[in-house]
Amino acid sequence: MEFEEFEVHLSATRAKRAGLSSPEGFDVFESRVASEAELLEVEESLRVQLPSEYREFMKRHGGGMFLFLDLLPVVAPDAQEDDLRRVNAAEFKDGSFVAVAPVGTGDWWGFAVHEGRCANQIDFWDHEDGQVQFAATDFLEFLAREGLRVGR
């Protein structure tokens, strides 16, 4: 999916939700954007190259709540919160997977890593057996389907 198509889905979803109320203090779209410097620092720390589509999304929209998804911010605003580096350094020490969103069951959505490069597709990592399964062709398709519930 291209950014232009994704932005149309995002705008339509935001327009639909404009009149709905959320519990006080709860944002359905948080915007913990990342700078290029933060992305480079995390890539160096994790020794991976993140997909360009993911990098661009994090600079435009950022991590945190994304309607039906909780995306790890690249850098958490609080040292006690999970972020991309902390989670991956603790959970995926072998560097074969970069988690970007918790499923909520101990499983993760993220990128398989091959020779230091993250794949463009999103995979599902099962915490029980460590198996990785295909989830979406690319990050924006994943966000549209799982976060915005496009086509559901």
State pLDDT tens for residues 24-42: 544 567 888 999 999 999 9
Q: Which residues make beta-bridge pairs with 32?
A: 63
Torsion of CA 51, 40, 66, 79, to 10 degrees: 150
Predicted local confidence at residue 14, as pLDDT: 81
Cβ-Cβ contacts under 8 Å for 129 (sequence gap 6 or more): none
Q: How confident is the model at residue 114 (pLDDT cuts 50, 70, 90)?
A: very high
Amino acid at 78: D
Measured at the CA of 39, the angle between CA 52 and CA 58, to 5 degrees, comes to: 60
What pLDDT score does 26 carry?
45
Give yes or no for a contact between 110 and 121, defined as CB atoms under 8 angstroms apart: no
Per-residue pLDDT, 20: 62
Return mean pLDDT, the chain. 89
Position 104 scores a pLDDT of 85
Beta strands 69-71 and 64-66, pairing class: antiparallel
Side-chain half-sphere CA neighbours of 141 within 13 A: 10
Question: Taking each helix axis from N to C terminus, what angle separates 52-60 and 36-46, rounded to the nearest 10 degrees?
Answer: 140
- Per-residue pLDDT, 99: 97
Look-up of token digits 């020779």: 115
Of the chain, the percentage scoring pLDDT greater than 90 comes to 66
**Rounded to whole angstroms, how far apart are CA atoms 102 and 108?**
5
Per-residue pLDDT tens digits for 68-111: 899 999 998 887 789 999 999 999 999 999 999 999 889 999 99
Asked if residues 110 and 125 have their Cβ atoms less than 8 Å apart, the reply is: yes
Task: Check whether 23 has a pLDDT greater than 60.
Answer: no
Bridge partners, 112 (sequence order): 97
pLDDT(65) > 90:
no
